[in-house]
Every structure is written in structure tokens, then in C-alpha cells.
Homo-oligomer: A and B are copies of this chain.
Amino acid sequence: MAGRARRAAELDAADELAAVRERFVLDDVVYLDGNSLGALPAHVPGRVEDVVRRQWGELRIRSWDESGWWSAPERIGDRIAPLVGAAAGRIVVGDSTSVNVFKALVAAVRMAGEDRDEILVDASTFPTDGYIAASAARLTGRTLRPVAPAEVPDALSGRTAAVLLNHVDYRTGRLHDLPSLTAAVRAAGAVSVWDLCHSAGALPVGLDEHGVDLAVGCTYKYLNGGPGSPAYLYVRGGLQDRFDSPLPGWNSHAEPFGMRSVFEPAEGAPRGRVGTPDILSMLALEAALDVWDGVRIEAVRAKSLALTDFFLECVAQYAAPGRVETVTPRAHAERGSQIALRCPDAGDVMRRLVARGVVGDFRQPDVLRFGFTPLYVGFADAERAARVLAEVLAEG
């Protein structure tokens, strides 16, 4: 174990992102649940206090203009854009991921046209995406077909209207091949909708480069926006004029304060807005995005892979053989930024890990999830997590 600990110290010393950890509020816990709720950036409390005390408390209604509240959804979208490879003006922030999946999927079906009657959805998707996809299919009179992502190319046909896929599987941590799947969807004449919840902020996404049509994602995992911070919606440049939202609100009207009785959609990203944005959560997110200043997403990806490689090595060395099964793919091209391990007593194991200061999470029925957020998790954390895990597993 001493060898692994020394190696961790060397890796931490060479880590170009090591100093970014100081931008967060952390303690002596090894926090490997940033793929569920990112840690608090240190400067966020002060910014939120200003929003509450001065912008709301003193300026009150004037803040809609003077504090930039009205334009926050687009402004913050433009902050997220470079992290997922999107040009400015293509992302708007607001609502939950679920609600944005609904907007995106109904809009996708409408773009695809009347003669395409089937929606494909990742069969292993996070439940909400599947429920919303079923609702979108029901309301638009389409059939929903669950398909494993790898089987999507074979499942595509002239009937396919839209395909809803996850970039990284929430449970296994498997990274799906966004460029080739997007190309296949496009070649079939269908519309691609990607859920980036478990990839944005952890690895390069390249939305514009790969020609993704529509995408959604949350901001409270690797983007550290805070509990339930608003989600975002991306619409490809060439499709913005055809984005026909099932949730047209006064915020997405071409002239919001004209109070017109007939809906006329705004141009560009604001077309994805609906109602009044939740300003406190939204401006906490805006502040949180400052931690990305000077951080290259490629460096984040490199560290993420090094961290998860190292964690797997440590687990292999420390834990009794066969005690846990690695669910996450070993190939870098198929791995997100989390490691999922399977063992029959996973729920109990995770409770004991948390009690000993190693926080991951448990997913039914038998999966331990460890999220590695390169902005604030180091190699010594990975070594300690593996060591404590091995201890807990040995007792169980």
C-alpha cells in the first residue's frame, strides 16, 4: 500500500488541475458523489448573498433589468457552451432536465415530420428520460421503442423520428459513442437528442463539431451549480428556426412584454425558454461556473481517466479477488468519469463507506458508484477510497 500512496503523491504533485481544488469548500471527506451533487465553489455563498440582499432586497423589481435577471438564461447558456463544444447563442438555461427532455423530444418529432412514427430511446436510460419519452410519444401519436445504444444503428429506419440517448450511462458509467451514433441518426434522416447530465463538465462533448441536433443536461453534477440548479437546452444552429416547443411561454415570445395573445416564437436560444426563471438557483449556477476560468476540458478529461485508472488499479491491488465486479468499461473510449462496482451487499457497503468518510452512492440493486470530479478530487483521494473500500469489503 505504501507504494500506491507514494504514487498518488507523485501524481498529485504533477497534476495541472491540483490548485483548482482550492476554489471549492471541502473537508477531510473523500467526496466521490460529485456526479450526483457537485461540491460548493467557495465564492458562491457571497454571490448568492448579494443576489438576495441587494438585487432582490434593495433593487427589487428593477433587478430584472439592472441586475441582468431577464437575460440570465441565455447569458449562462453562453458560459456553459464552451464546456460542451457549442457556439454562443445555442444554449439556454432553465427548468429541470426532465422538462427540457420533453421540450427537445416533442420538438424533435415535429422536425422529423408526419411520416416518421417511431421514437427510439436508450433502453438503459435514467428513468425520467424514459418516462418523458413515453409521454412525448403518447402526446405526438408516435411509438416508443427502447433500444440499447449500441443497437441504435440497426434499429434506425425511415420510420425513426427521433432518438434519445445518454452520453454517459448514469449507472454503469459507460460512455456512448456520440460522434458515430449522431452520424447514424442523421444519415437515417432522424433527429438526435442527447442527454449530457453525466458527461458535461467531465469530458469534451463537441456538440457543434459532431452535428448533434438537440441536447439537454443538468448543471448540479460536474458543473457544481448547486442542488436542483436549472438544466439547459441546446439547439443546433441550423435547427433553431424549426424548434417548435410544446411549452411556449411568455419568456420564449418574440416580444415578451408586448403581452400578445398569439404566440410568436423568439429567434435563437430564447425560444427554449418558458416561464419566469428561478433566479436564485440560476445565479448561484452562474457564480459556480467561475471555477472553470482557465480550465481546459481536455485537461479535465485526461485527469479523469488517470484518476479512474488509478482507482481501479488500487481496488485490484487492495480488495480480495472477486469481491467486487467492475461494471464500468476499462476502455477509455467507453468510460465516463465514474466507476461503478457491483457486489451483492452494495447498499450496506456504501453505508459503511460513508461512515468512514468516503462518500459515493448506491444504485439499486447492487451498484456502488464513485464519481471522480477532476476539479477537486485528487489521486490521494482515489487511493484512500480504494483502501477504505477494501477494508469495508473485507469485513462484510
Query: Considering the chains assembled together, what is the distance between the CA atoms of A110 and B210 in angstroms?
Result: 40
CB of A143, distance to nearest CB on chain B (Å): 16
Q: Of the candidates B60, B139, B218, B251, which one forms a contact with A37 in the assembled complex, judged by CB atoms under 8 Å apart?
A: B60
Asked whether any CB of chain B lies closer than 8 Å to the CB of A36, the reply is yes
Count of chain copies: 2
| CB <8 Å contact, B128 and A250 | yes
Asked whether any CB of chain B lies closer than 8 Å to the CB of A249, the reply is yes
Asked whether any CB of chain B lies closer than 8 Å to the CB of A84, the reply is no
Chain A, interface size category, equals 35 or more
Asked whether any CB of chain B lies closer than 8 Å to the CB of A56, the reply is yes
Inter-chain contacts of A44 with B (CB < 8 A): 52
| CB <8 Å contact, B131 and A253 | yes
Could you mark each residue 293-328 of chain A with 1 if its beta carbon is under 8 Å from any beta carbon of chain B, else 0?
000000000000000000000000000000000000
| CB <8 Å contact, B49 and A37 | no
Query: Considering the chains assembled together, what is the distance between the CA atoms of A97 and B246 in angstroms?
Result: 15
Most chain B beta-carbon contacts within 10 A, residue among A33, A130, A131, A280: A280
Inter-chain contacts of A277 with B (CB < 8 A): 96, 228
Kindly identify, within residues 195 to 215 of chain A, every residue whose CB is under 8 Å from any CB belonging to chain B.
Answer: none
Residues of A that sit less than 8 Å from B by CB: 25, 27, 31, 33, 36-37, 39-40, 44-45, 48-49, 52-53, 55-58, 60-61, 63-64, 69, 95-99, 102, 106, 123, 126-128, 130-132, 134-135, 139-140, 146, 171, 218, 220, 226-231, 245-251, 253, 257-261, 263, 274-282, 284, 359, 361, 363-364
